[in-house]
Chains A and B, each alone.
Chain A
Amino acid sequence: MAEALPLKNEKMHVATEADLITGNQTFHTITENISSITEGKTPKLWFLLWGMAVSLLLVLFGSVGFLVWNGTGVWGLNNPVGWGWAIVNFVWWVGIGHAGTLISAILFLLRQRWRTSINRFAEAMTLFAVICALLFPGIHIGRMWVIYYFFPVPNQMGVWPNFRSPLLWDFFAVGTYFTVSLLFWYTGLIPDLATLRDRAKTRLRKLTFGALALGWRGGNRQWQHYEIAYLVLAGLSTPLVLSVHSVVSSDFATSIVPGWHTTIFPPYFVAGAIYSGFAMVLTLGLIARKVYHLEHIITLNHLDKMAKIMLVTGSMVGYSYAMEFFIAWYSGNQYEAFAFINRAFGPYAWAYWIMIFCNVIVPQFFWFKKIRRSVGLLFFASILVNIGMWFERFVITVTSLSRDYLPSAWDYYSPTIWDIATFVGSFGLFFTLFLLFLRFLPMIAMAEVKGVLPQADPHYTAGGTHE
């Protein structure tokens, strides 16, 4: 039949995609491989890791509880630096959240079929990272019991969120992003949840996955609707990848603090977000691939492609750093010029040079194919980039605030133990959720990976003739 084919079965790429998944996989082996991870006995290693993650989560609960009890005075904030680790961590986590949607939406629209091997856990990572991110603006207000000020609900004060404030746009941008990412992730999960339901042995599993699969049967009509829904959601998410971090950057760029008040911020932040997101996908993916023996699905080719994206975005970030200096000089504005000289050579020079090393120099090694295909080096580099991107936000936030206009108002900022505990604790939240995801849901999009196997091509003839 000359019916329009689903996107994933586009013919044009078939010739080059033969080696996307290695090891002569069939539909059945893919199902077996991925589903069995969620079905077997829980490995001891998982319990060990999860126990560690939950311990860190308790650290988070403790430090947030202490914060609520005592107020934001427990943090290291001081008079010029009213924004400290809370916003640094917020921007860092949101940035990490960008890779998932980029992989699932933009790469989907661009017909990058290699995305299928990594999109599921990258999207999960996105969701959990955004949850961690939303935590920080949630707790930084100090008085948790008036958190409803955030929401546009009728109240006796006649106070509404200030629609002229980028902090509010931020709230809506990240909220929208989370909602759309969740829907997208869930839509993608439905066929796989149905697979798990059909394989389920116990009644509890049958009912749980049966309810979650929303009655999926895998019929022709269902697939057709599914593909359309997926495409629409991809279209919706694509602008979000660019808009969310642009809005986050407006938190800074709409103020008049030297070093923040620049138009380069939105693209610079978006590039940095994708960069850090891919670093985190690599960090997590390399571990999961090793632990769950998924080398045939997340192949060296996939790692190579991710490293290339990091090379591109990392270079964009490096270019932005250079351009900020250029503009600071070219503008002739002495405050702007001072802000950048202060960044590189002031009291926070140590943070600045960590950032330059991790974000600008490290990705340049990805020009070499050997390094792009070396699991150990990639893992090391991805950790460095994660660190570097955290320092980027630290440098932007703290250097500008600690020395703005009046030298008499300058002060040095350093975090307290509670800043550190909250940040470390947010990893507990992230890894608790992520490990639960790895244990109970298929971490690879089975249906989509099957779609890129050679057998899925209508012209596949190895198994016999095709009418």
Chain B
Amino acid sequence: MAQLFPKWTNKLPLFIVSGGVLAVVIVTGFFWYYGSPEYTDVGYRPIQPVPYSHKLHAGDLGLDCRYCHVAVERSAVASVPPTQTCLNCHRLIKPDSEKLKPIFKSWETGIPVQWIKVHKIPDYAYFNHSAHIRAGVGCESCHEHVAKMEVVQQMKPLSMSWCLECHRNPASQLRPLDQVTTLGWEPPENQAEIGRQMILERNINPPTDCAGCHR
């Protein structure tokens, strides 16, 4: 009987097997890298209706975060300031600025400025700002040094594993309670030790079970 297959087909099983393994590795690797929030979400920087500069206000002028985000210590949300907060100063400072037009329009009509939320967490995950502030987690831990940002952008992945990393080992992110809103805070040399102490003092026990966040 004549040969059915040419000689090169001997190598076919090897190619198929190694190709299959390679395909699995590539597909997994692709989704692991390109599908993670680290790739898809970090760097999100929407254009806001008003070109508000955190760098100018929180950095150069030195406003405390809580001047605008008043509810952060007491509620689940940090709260976006009402137009009134802007007017506290801008009634007198640069009231004729072209950039501030939408603010004054909002003031006149009573319709809030439609700020665009930057740091989003899915609705099936429960997050409470006040709990974190009370525990002594700095704003920077999640939002980075916003006082350096002309336009605020997402710097951390805000993925579940990223949350869990800190929930499993919070010591490195804890600060003295009066330093929580400080931007550009440098942790001391013995942060690990101090962190452990703060965990004991404040009785910090971050949940790592499903129902901690998925309520």
Nearest A residue to B27 via CB reads A153
- B161 near A153 with CB under 8 A, answer no
Bound form: Cα–Cα A156–B125 in Å? 14
Instruction: Name which residue of chain A comes closest to B165, CB basis.
Output: A158
Q: Does A23 touch B at the CB level, under 8 Å?
A: no
A residues less than 8 Å from B59 (CB atoms): none
User: Does any Cβ of A come within 8 Å of B20's Cβ?
Assistant: no
Q: Which residues of A contact B162 (CB under 8 A)?
A: 156
Per DSSP, chain B at the interface is helix
Q: How far is the CB of B29 from chain A (nearest CB, A)?
A: 9
Cβ–Cβ < 8 Å partners of A197 in chain B: 4
Complexed CA–CA distance, A381 and B35 (Å) = 54
Asked whether B157 lies within 8 Å of A156 as measured between CB atoms, the reply is yes
Whether, in the assembled complex, A308 has its beta carbon less than 8 Å from a beta carbon of chain B, the answer is no
Q: Is the CB of B32 within 8 A of A210?
A: no
Question: Is A155 interfacial (CB-CB < 8 Å)?
Answer: yes
Count contacts on B: residues with CB < 8 A to the other chain. 19
Q: Inside 8 A of A157's CB, which chain B residues have their CB?
A: 159-161
The residues of A that contact B36 with a CB separation of less than 8 Å are 155-156
How many A residues touch the partner, as a band?
A: 10 to 19
The distance from the CB of B212 to the nearest CB of chain A, in whole angstroms, is 13
A:309-332 near B, CB below 8 Å:
none
Instruction: Verify if B144 is at the interface (C-beta below 8 Å from A).
Output: no
> How far is the CB of A145 from the nearest CB of chain B, in Å?
13
A40 within 8 A of B: no
- Tell me the dominant secondary structure on chain A's binding face: loop
Q: Is A159 an interface residue (CB 8 A)?
A: yes
Inter-chain contact A210/B4, CB cutoff 8 Å = yes
> A207-B4, A210-B4, A210-B5 are known contacts. Are A154 and B160 too (CB-CB below 8 A)?
no
In the complex, A206 has a CB within 8 A of chain B: yes
Contact of B28 among A153, A198, A214 (CB under 8 A): A153
Whether the pair A155, B164 counts as a contact (CB closer than 8 A) is no
How far in angstroms is the closest Cβ of chain A from B161? 3
Count chain A CB atoms within 10 A of each CB in B4, B13, B32, B35 and give the residue with the most. B4
Whether a CB of chain A sits under 8 angstroms from the CB of B73 is no
Partner of A156, one of B1, B4, B28, B161: B161
For chain B, residues 7 to 62, give those with C-beta under 8 angstroms from any C-beta of chain A.
10, 13, 28, 31-32, 35-38
A sample of 22 cross-chain residue pairs with beta-carbon separation below 8 angstroms, ordered by A number, consists of A153-B31, A154-B28, A155-B32, A155-B36, A155-B161, A156-B35, A156-B36, A156-B37, A156-B38, A156-B157, A156-B159, A156-B160, A157-B160, A157-B161, A158-B160, A158-B161, A158-B164, A159-B160, A159-B161, A197-B4, A210-B4, A214-B13
List the interface of chain A (C-beta within 8 A of B).
153-159, 197-198, 206-207, 210-211, 214-215
